[in-house]
Chains A and B, each alone.
Chain A
């Protein structure tokens, strides 16, 4: 397998909220020595069903096999994978800087130009928030770096498929729709 064929895939896993499931998911990747770029989990639009969004760098062949293995886990409803152009996705980053650096600097302009926002300010620290793709949050990081970044954290990816197979179409396909409360949560 040549490194040229490696691309970034986003895997969406829909699973029961059972203890140990995340570990079981991770084993599928560790066993194949695949590094996970990011991992996000939250309850999905169906009550009790959790959605894991996992980003990996692999070949198409690998992602197909990995997703098949994920689908085999008893507590997993189903899983899909998407290439970059098949999804709409977002990440969030937080940057902590010293409040004193705000004075007499152009941090304000940097924040404005990057469509970021100030989330929290006290006498000592200021926290800036930026949502966007990794390249965008990274760009802000680079710009804030000269002012001294005390802490930086970037979330995993959350992603929604463009019109592609999703949990609802899958439920319909396997005739399980009536087993789930498929109304969006209030």
Chain B
């Protein structure tokens, strides 16, 4: 292992430690308590790129965007007090969506801790329910150790956010810097050995299944097990659905791919969850948006659960055949035990029958309407066609997000960046910036609603300053659409505070030096989308869409997946 010894300040040690971890870019915002570290960013500006966001929340989402498309730990930097508290939403988002992120915050000098000093806040205390791990550094010597441990913990086992809070005096004082990567924490056991017995039991259950169904989750992407999933599904002829965070793990145009499960998932996988005989869940956690009423969820099925996090097994759905461990390893062990199936005609006929119903009632009117205002779904499907499902798609939260989940046909892996568990409006724009910075060679399109865009639109400043060619597609229905849909369906159309006015997004983009266009006619759609995609620079396209469009199918809150509604 490489070792370097050098007398440096704590602040310099922060930057050196980041370099040791291979960090090339960080997102952040300076302030009093983190100034010594910023002085070092200035000194090392040729080796590490600092991207100035416009609000610290943006730094966390950008770091998440980077992490999600690269499976690499994103880094966000902020000062003490408000700088630190502004990170919280992004940290909570990263925690619930298992995203590796290291946040570094400045803190008041250690002799002022607990005195209500200027810009002092107990960020360790505030963040503790939503971090995977955190540590307050009060001595410069602790910095390399703490940062090494932070990176190890953030991106091992089930990934998550880690926060390192560094007092200003620790940034100033000098010590002999020596860096050693962390590879072991005695109280932390991220590597679980896969039990062959568990795999054998799972194989037996899968082999004996007449009507199997597989749900792939985010764990497949995190565990890089896409190929293994595909191989087993093809061999055993298993229909595959994904959770929302599992999107892009399985090629959307594959004949075995059956769409998404859950509240706004597809009709067939929701209904057939309650008809299958073996439910194979890979790297997913049976979130309530997936299961609906738990007491009426897959109760007829034997559940095989491949999962890395032991606390997820039996947490929501009882697993008949749990397989603990990294799914890449367990599926690799499973593969030779799987008996090739010669087809399941009757079972697939049932899928086709339901798919046909959904196609007639929902999909065709959604993606190929011939009259009326533009529908969100057709915009997303046309984008999917133009980009051949290869773009990185970053979504915000709401109707446009669920429409994207349904109609963007993800054909490349690790290309879906979204706020799933936390449902953070405002996530889209900064996350897209992070994704584009991490993978400049890929087309990155942020699909955002008119509401969510206005939560973090200040990050257009980053696109302007850094010339980041992110494409922004605003689906504007002049409503907070998802809440409006619920008000229509469950609150007798009382549209309480869901009517939202927006500024001219095109003029706004123009103010930031970003090209923009707004369309409202169907005839202009293909041309405008093509112009956006063909643009070498950032481009904002606003599409005025049907105002009161609804997302279907829908499993109403508290209903069973079998009660999935097509209208």
Q: Is A16 an interface residue (CB 8 A)?
A: yes
Q: Select B311's contact among A27, A31, A72, A176, beta carbons within 8 Å.
A: A72
In the bound complex, residues from chain B placing their C-beta under 8 Å from that of A27 are: 128-129
Binding site of B, secondary structure by majority: helix, strand, loop or mixed? mixed
Q: Select B186's contact among A20, A64, A71, A77, beta carbons within 8 Å.
A: A77
Residue-wise interface mask of B (128-144) relative to A, using a CB-CB cutoff of 8 A (1 in contact, 0 not): 11001110100000000
Query: Chain A residue with minimal CB distance to B149?
Result: A74
Bound complex: CA of A19 vs CA of B314, how far in Å? 31
A74, A75, A174, A179: which has the most chain B beta carbons within 10 Å?
Answer: A74
Whether the pair B125, A65 counts as a contact (CB closer than 8 A) is no
Shortest distance in angstroms between A73's beta carbon and chain B's nearest beta carbon? 8
Whether the pair B129, A74 counts as a contact (CB closer than 8 A) is no
Whether the pair B186, A65 counts as a contact (CB closer than 8 A) is no
Residue-wise interface mask of B (299-318) relative to A, using a CB-CB cutoff of 8 A (1 in contact, 0 not): 00000000001110011000
Whether the pair B124, A74 counts as a contact (CB closer than 8 A) is no
In the bound complex, residues from chain B placing their C-beta under 8 Å from that of A174 are: 189
* Chain B stretch 182-210: residues in CB contact (< 8 A) with chain A: 185-189
Q: Is B34 an interface residue (CB 8 A)?
A: no
Q: Is A15 an interface residue (CB 8 A)?
A: yes
Q: Is B153 an interface residue (CB 8 A)?
A: yes
Bound complex: CA of A72 vs CA of B310, how far in Å? 9
In the bound complex, residues from chain A placing their C-beta under 8 Å from that of B310 are: 68, 71
In the bound complex, residues from chain A placing their C-beta under 8 Å from that of B153 are: 74
Residue-wise interface mask of A (45-88) relative to B, using a CB-CB cutoff of 8 A (1 in contact, 0 not): 00000000000000000001100110110111100000000000
Q: Is A146 an interface residue (CB 8 A)?
A: no
Q: Select A76's contact among B124, B134, B187, beta carbons within 8 Å.
A: B187
Whether the pair A31, B129 counts as a contact (CB closer than 8 A) is yes
Q: Select B128's contact among A16, A23, A76, A180, beta carbons within 8 Å.
A: A23
In the bound complex, residues from chain B placing their C-beta under 8 Å from that of A74 are: 132-133, 153, 185, 187-188
Whether the pair A24, B128 counts as a contact (CB closer than 8 A) is yes
Query: Chain A residue with minimal CB distance to B186?
Result: A179
Q: Select A20's contact among B124, B132, B185, B311, beta carbons within 8 Å.
A: B124
Number of interface residues of B (CB under 8 A): 19
Whether the pair A72, B309 counts as a contact (CB closer than 8 A) is yes
Q: Select B125's contact among A20, A31, A71, beta carbons within 8 Å.
A: A20
Shortest distance in angstroms between A57's beta carbon and chain B's nearest beta carbon? 21
Bound complex: CA of A23 vs CA of B188, how far in Å? 18
Query: Chain B residue with minimal CB distance to A19?
Result: B136
Bound complex: CA of A71 vs CA of B314, how far in Å? 15
A23-B125, A27-B129, A74-B132 given; A65·B311 CB < 8 A: yes
Bound complex: CA of A106 vs CA of B482, how far in Å? 74
In the bound complex, residues from chain B placing their C-beta under 8 Å from that of A71 are: 310-311
Residue-wise interface mask of A (16-35) relative to B, using a CB-CB cutoff of 8 A (1 in contact, 0 not): 10011001100100010000
Whether the pair A69, B128 counts as a contact (CB closer than 8 A) is no
Whether the pair A69, B311 counts as a contact (CB closer than 8 A) is yes
Whether the pair B315, A65 counts as a contact (CB closer than 8 A) is yes
Shortest distance in angstroms between A110's beta carbon and chain B's nearest beta carbon? 46
Query: Chain A residue with minimal CB distance to B130?
Result: A27
Query: Chain B residue with minimal CB distance to A49?
Result: B187
Bound complex: CA of A71 vs CA of B136, how far in Å? 22
Query: Chain A residue with minimal CB distance to B314?
Result: A64
Bound complex: CA of A46 vs CA of B564, how far in Å? 55
Query: Chain A residue with minimal CB distance to B135?
Result: A18
Query: Chain B residue with minimal CB distance to A23?
Result: B128
Bound complex: CA of A71 vs CA of B188, how far in Å? 9
Whether the pair B187, A15 counts as a contact (CB closer than 8 A) is yes
Q: Select A176's contact among B129, B133, B186, B314, beta carbons within 8 Å.
A: B186
Bound complex: CA of A16 vs CA of B188, how far in Å? 11
In the bound complex, residues from chain B placing their C-beta under 8 Å from that of A179 are: 186
In the bound complex, residues from chain A placing their C-beta under 8 Å from that of B132 are: 74
Bound complex: CA of A68 vs CA of B307, how far in Å? 14
In the bound complex, residues from chain A placing their C-beta under 8 Å from that of B187 are: 15-16, 74-77
In the bound complex, residues from chain A placing their C-beta under 8 Å from that of B314 are: 64
Query: Chain A residue with minimal CB distance to B316?
Result: A65
Query: Chain A residue with minimal CB distance to B160?
Result: A74
Shortest distance in angstroms between A179's beta carbon and chain B's nearest beta carbon? 5
Q: Which residues of A contact B (CB under 8 A)?
A: 15-16, 19-20, 23-24, 27, 31, 64-65, 68-69, 71-72, 74-77, 174, 176, 179-180
New A-B pairs, 5, CB < 8 Å, besides A23-B128, A68-B310: A15-B187, A20-B124, A71-B311, A72-B309, A77-B187
30 pairs from A and B in contact (CB 8 Å cutoff): A15-B187, A16-B186, A20-B124, A20-B125, A23-B128, A24-B128, A24-B129, A27-B128, A27-B129, A64-B314, A65-B315, A68-B310, A68-B315, A69-B311, A71-B310, A72-B311, A74-B132, A74-B133, A74-B153, A74-B185, A74-B188, A75-B133, A75-B187, A75-B188, A77-B186, A77-B187, A174-B189, A176-B186, A179-B186, A180-B186
